[in-house]
Every structure is written in C-alpha cells, then in structure tokens.
A and B are shown apart, each in its own frame.
Chain A
Amino acid sequence: MRNIVVAVVLTAMIVSAGCRGGSSVGVSGTPNPPFEGDAPQDAYKYTGETGVYGGAMVLSLPDDIKTFNIIRASDTASADVLWYNVFRCPVDYRNGGNPPDFDPGLCTKWEESPDAKVWTFYLRRGVRWSDGEPFNADDFVFTYNVILDKNVDTAARDVFVEGKDEKGEAIYPSIEKLDDYTVRFNLHRPNAAFLEAVYNIWLIPKHRWEQPWRTGKFGDTMKLSDDPSTVVGLGPFRVKEYVSGQRIVLERNPYFWKVDNRGQRLPYLDRMIFVIVKDFNTIQSKFQVGEIDVMQRVRPQDYALVKRMESADVKVDDIGISYDTNWIAFNQNTGSNPKTHKPFVEPWKLKLFRDVKFRQAVSYAINREALANTVFSARAVPLYSFVTPGDTTWFSDDIMKYPYDPARAKELFAEAGLKDTDGDGFLEDGEGHTIEINLNTNASNSQRVETISFVARNLQDVGIKANAVPIAFGVLIDKMQSTFDFDAFGLGWQPNPPPGPLGNKNVLLSSGLQHACFPSQEKPSTDWEAHIDQLMQQIESSPDQAERHRLYAQVQRIWSEYLPEINLVAPREAVAYKNKFGNLRPVPLPPRATWNCEELYVKK
C-alpha cells in the first residue's frame, strides 16, 4: 500500500515538473554577461538595423562537435559552432550581403598590388581577444605560421600552396609584419583570388598557443575536455559550456569589436545554444514544441509538412536555390592497377565512357524535371554544370543544357556506335557487348539512393541496362579514390563560403583528388581537361574581376559540354524559425541562418 502511495506521489511530481512548460528566455534590454572594457578605437561600425540586448537562440546540431581547435577541425559540426561565432578570419564574408562579398571585418582595409602578388592588410587598433588580451599583427603572423607547419594537421594549408620547388616541397606565400597593425603577404605567383585563401586563416592567440606549438604540443590544445575558457577567439561569442552529446552553450564575448550606430556594442544576443539531436524527426518534434528556435535545413520531403506549422509565431521560408550539387560521373580512368596490371576499366567500356557523345546521350536521357518532382518533392531545379543558380555571384547561364529528350539520346547513342543487334531491348556496342552499367552511391543517404534508382530507370528506357547499386560509404570512397573499380557513381558537393574557383579547384583540375571521373592525373588526358586547367590558372593570376568571371563562365560551359560529371538537380532550401528574431536573414550557404550572428536580436 505504502509503495503505491510513493509511486503515485513520484508520478505527480514528475508530471508537475513538466507542467512548468518550456523555456522562455525573456529580453531584458541589458546585456548579460555585460561588456568589458571600452570599445576599440577602430571599432567596426555596424550600420544595419539596430536591436535590443538579451535573449538566446536555440539551434539544432545534427552531430556532436569533434574539437575546439579550429585549425584542426575538419567536420561540419565543429565548423557550424566555431566558425564566425567563436573565431574570425582577418576578413569577413557576408553570405547574405547584397551582393554576397568580402567585408573588411578585423581589417580596416586591404591593398592588392597591381600585379596581384603583394597583399597588405591593415588591422583595427584596440581589438581584444575574448580573454581581454590585445590583438595585433603578431597573432596574424603566428596563426599563419601554425597553418603552414607540416606537423600540424590542418586542411587550411592546401589553399596556400603555390607550386613546388626543385625538391618537390610546396611553396607558400611569405608573410611579414610591417608594424603592429600591418601585415603583408608576398606571393610567388599572382593570385587575384588571394582573399579566398585568407578566408581560411581562423585567428588564434599567440599569447596562449605559441608555447605549446613550439614544443610540438599543438595537437593537444583546445580539446573537448579542456576548460572552455581556454578557447579564445575574436568572434562575437565564446564557449561557455560543453556537454558531450547534448549541447554547446556560447555566451556573449564581452570584448567584441563591433558597434552599432547608436553606440551600442554587438552582439545583441546573450547566448547561442546548440542542442545536439541526430534524428531528423526528433528535430522536427522539438521545433514543434518550441524547444528549438531555428531549423536551418528543412528537407525537401518534409517541406510540405513543416509549412503547415506556419502561424503568427512560426515562419517557414523558402530561402532560394542551394549551392549544393547532385551529379553522376562515369569512370574515365585510363590507368591500370599497379599490382595486377589490369586496366581499371575494361577497354570497351572505357572507350564508351570516354566518348563525349555517350555522356551527352545519357544527359539527354535523364528526366530532371521528373526527378525534381518525385525524389525532391518538387523542391529542386534542373542543373547542367557545377555552379548552381543559387550562386548569384558566379553562376553562368551560358552553358549547354539537356532538356529531357530520349529521342535525341537514342540518336547520340547510335552515333557512338551502339545498336540493339539482338532485339533484347538493350543496346550493344560494335563488338557485341551489352551495355550494362552499375550505378553506385552510398546506401546511408536515402535521397541519393532514390536519385540513382531514378536515373537507372531513365537509362533503361533508352536501352542502357543500368542497375542502381547502393553500397557502404567506406566502400564507395575506396572505389572513388583507390581501387577505381566502378562504372559510374552518384554524389554531390556541398560548398563552403566563399563560393568561387578556389574552393572547387580539387574538383575542376585534372590533377585534383575530387576530379571524380579521373582523379589525380599527372597530366591532362584530354584537350578539354587541359583547357580547363589552363583557364583555372588564368583565373588565379588575373587581377580583373570581370575577366575572372568571364573565364569561370567558360569553365562552366566546357564542363557542361564535356560532362566529367553529369549534373542533375540543385535543391531548393528552406528554413523554419520562431518569429521572434530580428535581422534573421538565412541564405543557402553555410552557416545559413547565423552568418550575421552578432546582428541577431530577440524582438521585444
């Protein structure tokens, strides 16, 4: 009897705890934690919409972060939390700017020499790190040297490679400190896009990390198990708390260096809270009950459902076409397995895959509109080259397009020498081989699996015996980069800011590791690949922005004509959010909703 009473009381307590309701963080109007010290003498003047202090924004994070060490972080979760919020580069990039472009940020200005080989950056005076120590050119030089150190495992080093010297060692731009607030880079080759490279220098403090770095212990710094107050950066927020697998709490950086036109210092928000939720359905449920404020990615298949949640308090916005691509690529690798000396691709198949008419035929055979309407729930647009229409800065419409035309596909197959000689409904080549192709993709991504199944059916309709074969992710990467044991596979790219030629180098160049059809070539195996290599080089060395756009448009055109990747669709993106934030301007480029986190505020 007593046990039953205890059970009932316990249950009542638990239920009553729930009835207290969810969180409601009020807008106080006063910053908490308050700012420290004075605004720097050169404070960045923010001239946009002013806000009020207080409040928090709760976001979902689909994966746990892996480290606080921004130089070594290479996963999206760590990037989502640390980039822009906790750390800054010498220059900023305004994803949602009009147009999206570089912004002085921590510099008052930069200067580019006429030959694009000397770059000078003038830093703001009086800026402090999130621990109160002063920031100056020494930190800039220090961070660059850490990045260039071979013993530090960072992905940022590669963007600075300018070539190799006689010994085969990589050459990098040299850096010099002209005075406490001026830094100069001397490049060996002209690079008009050097700002894109500088946008990888996430600044870290010399006064904290020089010692560990010099003693070879840089890999041990800024670990997840360290005290969050050691994670010192120049971003508008600093790490307050990290609980593994649950949340990361960022609080205001009291030393942040931006001021609005009312003299108020930024950021307005007191806190940013990232809640780790792995399952998409759970994210939606949490958003529905109000535990999460912003859902930064609404999947195409969920859009219709989430849109019904719209009300006075909840808004669901279509934010435009994504920068993400979806494509399939055929194996055009002419090499052989070094151990068995067998060619990676059977000679008759290789001949076919390397025939541009064949690839163009395949492109005509794919019904992109239907693909967008079914697999992407009508939330995608056809895509014909590697830059999507969502990239308003670089997209060129002057590309070869392939509206769905199975008749034209069959014509081109015939021109490539394929015929159905035995009447089984499938085409054969001149030697009688039935054209059978296995289309791979990673089985864990259901959208990709549906995409290649759709493409396989399209190809079967025009006489190609195509099989959709999803495989484990590890196996796919192995095939893509080591064994080259595949016919074709489907994948996609998700670019990071800033968009542009530099970020796509590894995909476009014939020597690139992600040049999916035939990676890491010693020299280009076709004229068009040689042409692209040459254009990319010209883009780097041309100081004229208009010229670079023109050349990049040419690359897009060649890509669409010769189809190293057959691009399929670009999805449309949507963001769902509580209608209580000001200055919330999500864009399809990561970090979507928080690229201007210091400007966000909670409306009274």
Chain B
Amino acid sequence: MRTFLTRRLLAAIPLIIVVTFLTKAMLVASPGNYLDTIRLNPAISREYVSQMEHRYHLDSNNVFERYWYWFWPAVQGDFGYSFTKSATVGSLIGERVLNTLLLTGSALVFSWLVAIPLGMLAAVYRNRWLDKLIGFISFFGLSIPSVFFSLLMILFAARTGWFPAGGIHNQVNWDVMNGWERFVDTLWHLVLPMIVLGTIGMAQYVRQMRSEMIETLSQDYIRTARAKGLSRWRVLTRHALGNAINPLITIFGFSLATLLAGALLTEYVFGWPGLGTLIFDALSNKDEPVVMASVVMLVLMLVVGNLIADVLLAIIDPRIRLE
C-alpha cells in the first residue's frame, strides 16, 4: 500500500508541471493582460502601464521565460502576489477554500444522502409510479442550468423572506452576534445554495444507484438469501447495497476531486465568497499568479481525490488488489 501511495503521489509532480506550463502558455498566448482595464482609464499614461508591465514580467512574450519567473519562486513555496489585489496568493486562496469546502461539502453530503435511498427505492419499485417520480426528479436535476436554478432560489428567497437572498452571513450584524448565532446564521444562508448544488449533483448518482441496484438484485445470491428467509430490508441494506455501491465509490472519489472546482456559477449568483468566484475573476482579469496557484491546487485535488477513490475501492472490495 505504501509504495502504491508514494508512486501515485510522485506521479503527480510531472502532471502538475505539464499542466501549469500549458496554462502559462495559454495565458501568454492569449491577447491582452491584466493591465487592460487600467489601460482604458483616460487618466492613466503609457509610462505607468509600461512600468507595471515590467514589474510583473508581462513585457516578455517568451513562454519559457514567463514560466520560469513563476516556477522558481513557486518551487520554494512563494506563489507571489496577486496582480489585481494587494495580497499574497496564499492568503487569498486560504480565505476562500473553507467557504467553498463548506458549500460543496454540504452539497455532496446532501446529494449522497438523498441519492442512495432514492436510487434504492427506484430499483426496488422499478417501473412503478415511485420510480417514475424519482426519474422525473433526477432528470430535473440533470437538465436544469445551475444559474437559472440559483436565480429561481434567490427569487424565492426574496419573495417569501424565509431564506436570505444570497451571501454567506448577515453582513451588517456579524460583529455583534455570538458564536451560536453565527453558526445558525451561516447554516441559514447555506440551505438554498446547498439545495441547488445538491439537486444537480444527486441526479447522476440516483440513476447510477438505480441501475447498479437493479443489476445486483437480479443476482443469484440475492435470491438465495431471500430463499433462506432473510427479510427484504436486511437483504437490501446488508447484501445488495454493499455490492451495488462499488462503482459509486469511484464516482465519489471524482466528486472529491471537483469539490473545490465545481461550484463556480452557483457561488457567483449567490454571492458566496468562495474559490470559484476567485478563480473566475482571476481568469477574467488575467491575474496570473492566482490562476497558476489555483491550477496547482486543483490538479492536486484531482490526484488526491482519485487516489482516495482507488484506496477506498481496495478497502471495500476484497477482490481488488493495489499494486
């Protein structure tokens, strides 16, 4: 196991190098740079712009040179300062990671908690009205655009007043609230975006779960277990579920990988101050240090997520052996 883990983690290093190099190449090749909005300000002169270009090494068009300016400090742990904001890249990302993890983590839990029972029910009552209803819900989740869904939720919140219209907590009174109030306030703000992300996420799990369950339930050993007198419930949860869930573990690993990357549009509409909005803004403004650091982090998450998926699978399924 240990050699397996070490090998996988070491393999991540060339992957990160290649991906970051390609990212840098695209940043250099695409026209314009972060100074464009500044350039458009009539009060700002050409000297100021060239001064900034020189300071941020944006005057060279050589990809290798620009890559090196990023790579060498990064290897030593210095990911630099954001171009657009006067803060270190590390502090910018660090602040946002927790917020995004809170959102996507709770959405992941929500989607799984809902998907597994629903998938099971759909399989057990297949082709009956319950199955069709669950099918409708999952297709709804699959097809609705996240932006539209988020806007609908905000409209719902604005009309009824039961939930806040976006944001992560009450901005005006936060400093006078105690710990418990803050906890509850954050949860209250979390509900709607979590529902949006969770509904969209659970859709595919429901379908997967359903088809896996159907296949498992048609196996001989299930019939044997029932014939031996085990209750329906026990057969389902103890025997069928464990086997049906195998492929979903792999998917779970992938979801871990996209935990940090997946919530962009929802975060944007809800005004949730997370990593998605940070990366999106950095990309639009061509804030290179932030983009590069985000890419590194996302690749790492992908590698770790896949790794966890493989390890989990090996633990759960005795037929699989890791080399």
Q: Which residues of A contact B (CB under 8 A)?
A: 10, 13-15, 17-18, 22-23, 25, 56, 58, 64-69, 72, 74-75, 150, 153-155, 157-159, 161, 170, 219, 222-225, 241, 243-247, 249, 273, 275-279, 281-282, 285-286, 288-289, 291, 444, 472-475, 477-478, 481, 491, 493, 495-496, 503-507, 512-514, 520
With a cutoff of 8 Å between Cβ atoms, the chain B residues found around residue A245 in the complex are 95-96, 99, 273-274, 277-278
- Contact (A514, B42) CB under 8 Å given A13-B184, A224-B86: yes
With a cutoff of 8 Å between Cβ atoms, the chain B residues found around residue A22 in the complex are 170
With a cutoff of 8 Å between Cβ atoms, the chain A residues found around residue B42 in the complex are 493, 495, 503-507, 512, 514
B91 interface residue per 8 A CB criterion: yes
Distance (whole angstroms) from the CB of B202 to the closest CB of chain A: 17
Q: Tell whether, in the assembled complex, residue B172 and residue A477 are in contact, meaning their CB atoms are under 8 Å apart.
A: no
Q: Tell whether, in the assembled complex, residue B166 and residue A23 are in contact, meaning their CB atoms are under 8 Å apart.
A: no
Instruction: A14 to B42: give the CA distance in the assembly, Å.
Output: 50
Q: Tell whether, in the assembled complex, residue A291 and residue B165 are in contact, meaning their CB atoms are under 8 Å apart.
A: yes
Report which of B43, B157, B273 forms a contact with A285, defined as CB distance below 8 A.
B157
A-B contact pairs, 28 of them (CB 8 A): A17-B184, A68-B86, A155-B38, A155-B41, A155-B45, A155-B48, A157-B45, A158-B44, A159-B43, A222-B86, A224-B86, A225-B88, A244-B92, A246-B273, A247-B171, A273-B171, A281-B151, A281-B154, A282-B166, A285-B166, A291-B165, A291-B171, A475-B31, A477-B32, A478-B32, A481-B39, A504-B42, A507-B42
Q: Tell whether, in the assembled complex, residue B158 and residue A288 are in contact, meaning their CB atoms are under 8 Å apart.
A: yes
- Contact (A477, B36) CB under 8 Å given A15-B162, A67-B86, A246-B171: yes
Report which of A66, A241, A247, A279 forms a contact with B85, defined as CB distance below 8 A.
A66
Which partner residue on chain A sits nearest B34 by CB separation? Answer: A474
Q: Tell whether, in the assembled complex, residue A56 and residue B172 are in contact, meaning their CB atoms are under 8 Å apart.
A: yes
Contacts A155-B45, A506-B45 known; list 13 others, CB within 8 Å.
A17-B181, A18-B162, A64-B85, A150-B51, A153-B55, A155-B44, A158-B43, A158-B48, A224-B86, A273-B172, A277-B167, A279-B268, A285-B166
Q: Tell whether, in the assembled complex, residue A153 and residue B51 are in contact, meaning their CB atoms are under 8 Å apart.
A: yes
Q: Tell whether, in the assembled complex, residue B39 and residue A477 are in contact, meaning their CB atoms are under 8 Å apart.
A: yes
Which partner residue on chain B sits nearest A72 by CB separation? Answer: B86
Count contacts on B: residues with CB < 8 A to the other chain.
66
With a cutoff of 8 Å between Cβ atoms, the chain B residues found around residue A75 in the complex are 37, 84
Instruction: A302 to B279: give the CA distance in the assembly, Å.
Output: 29
Q: Tell whether, in the assembled complex, residue A158 and residue B88 are in contact, meaning their CB atoms are under 8 Å apart.
A: no
Instruction: A277 to B48: give the CA distance in the assembly, Å.
Output: 30
With a cutoff of 8 Å between Cβ atoms, the chain A residues found around residue B175 in the complex are 241, 249
Q: Tell whether, in the assembled complex, residue A14 and residue B188 are in contact, meaning their CB atoms are under 8 Å apart.
A: yes
With a cutoff of 8 Å between Cβ atoms, the chain A residues found around residue B91 in the complex are 225
- Contact (A14, B30) CB under 8 Å given A155-B44, A246-B171, A281-B151: no
Which partner residue on chain A sits nearest B168 by CB separation? Answer: A246
Q: Tell whether, in the assembled complex, residue B86 and residue A520 are in contact, meaning their CB atoms are under 8 Å apart.
A: no
Q: Tell whether, in the assembled complex, residue B85 and residue A474 are in contact, meaning their CB atoms are under 8 Å apart.
A: no
Distance (whole angstroms) from the CB of A230 to the closest CB of chain B: 13
Instruction: A64 to B284: give the CA distance in the assembly, Å.
Output: 14
Instruction: A245 to B82: give the CA distance in the assembly, Å.
Output: 15
Report which of B46, B87, B172 forms a contact with A513, defined as CB distance below 8 A.
B46
- Contact (A157, B32) CB under 8 Å given A14-B187, A23-B172: no
B155 interface residue per 8 A CB criterion: yes
Instruction: A26 to B184: give the CA distance in the assembly, Å.
Output: 23
Instruction: A571 to B41: give the CA distance in the assembly, Å.
Output: 20
Q: Tell whether, in the assembled complex, residue B31 and residue A478 are in contact, meaning their CB atoms are under 8 Å apart.
A: yes
With a cutoff of 8 Å between Cβ atoms, the chain B residues found around residue A56 in the complex are 172
With a cutoff of 8 Å between Cβ atoms, the chain B residues found around residue A222 in the complex are 86
B170-195 with Cβ < 8 A to chain A: 170-173, 175, 181, 184-185, 187-188, 191
Distance (whole angstroms) from the CB of A167 to the closest CB of chain B: 15
Q: Which residues of B contact A (CB under 8 A)?
A: 30-33, 36-48, 51-52, 55, 84-88, 91-92, 95-96, 99, 151, 154-155, 157-158, 161-173, 175, 181, 184-185, 187-188, 191, 268-271, 273-274, 277-278, 281, 284, 286
Which partner residue on chain A sits nearest B46 by CB separation? Answer: A513
With a cutoff of 8 Å between Cβ atoms, the chain A residues found around residue B99 in the complex are 245
- Contact (A14, B184) CB under 8 Å given A56-B172, A159-B43, A507-B42: yes
Which partner residue on chain A sits nearest B31 by CB separation? Answer: A478
Distance (whole angstroms) from the CB of A58 to the closest CB of chain B: 6
Instruction: A159 to B227: give the CA distance in the assembly, Å.
Output: 90
Distance (whole angstroms) from the CB of B270 to the closest CB of chain A: 7
Distance (whole angstroms) from the CB of B153 to the closest CB of chain A: 10
Distance (whole angstroms) from the CB of B83 to the closest CB of chain A: 9
Which partner residue on chain B sits nearest A481 by CB separation? Answer: B39
Distance (whole angstroms) from the CB of B182 to the closest CB of chain A: 10
Report which of B84, B158, B188 forms a contact with A289, defined as CB distance below 8 A.
B158
Instruction: A505 to B48: give the CA distance in the assembly, Å.
Output: 16
Instruction: A291 to B168: give the CA distance in the assembly, Å.
Output: 13
Instruction: A402 to B37: give the CA distance in the assembly, Å.
Output: 31
With a cutoff of 8 Å between Cβ atoms, the chain B residues found around residue A170 in the complex are 47
With a cutoff of 8 Å between Cβ atoms, the chain B residues found around residue A496 in the complex are 43
With a cutoff of 8 Å between Cβ atoms, the chain B residues found around residue A472 in the complex are 31-32
Distance (whole angstroms) from the CB of B264 to the closest CB of chain A: 12
Q: Tell whether, in the assembled complex, residue B32 and residue A473 are in contact, meaning their CB atoms are under 8 Å apart.
A: yes
With a cutoff of 8 Å between Cβ atoms, the chain B residues found around residue A72 in the complex are 86
Q: Tell whether, in the assembled complex, residue B85 and residue A224 are in contact, meaning their CB atoms are under 8 Å apart.
A: yes
Report which of B38, B51, B52, B154 forms a contact with A282, defined as CB distance below 8 A.
B154
Q: Tell whether, in the assembled complex, residue B30 and residue A285 are in contact, meaning their CB atoms are under 8 Å apart.
A: no
With a cutoff of 8 Å between Cβ atoms, the chain A residues found around residue B155 in the complex are 285
- Contact (A23, B36) CB under 8 Å given A281-B151, A289-B161: no
With a cutoff of 8 Å between Cβ atoms, the chain B residues found around residue A273 in the complex are 171-172
Instruction: A154 to B86: give the CA distance in the assembly, Å.
Output: 14
Instruction: A247 to B174: give the CA distance in the assembly, Å.
Output: 11
Q: Tell whether, in the assembled complex, residue B158 and residue A278 are in contact, meaning their CB atoms are under 8 Å apart.
A: no
- Identify the interface centre among B85, B157, B181, B277: most chain A CB within 10 Å of its CB: B85
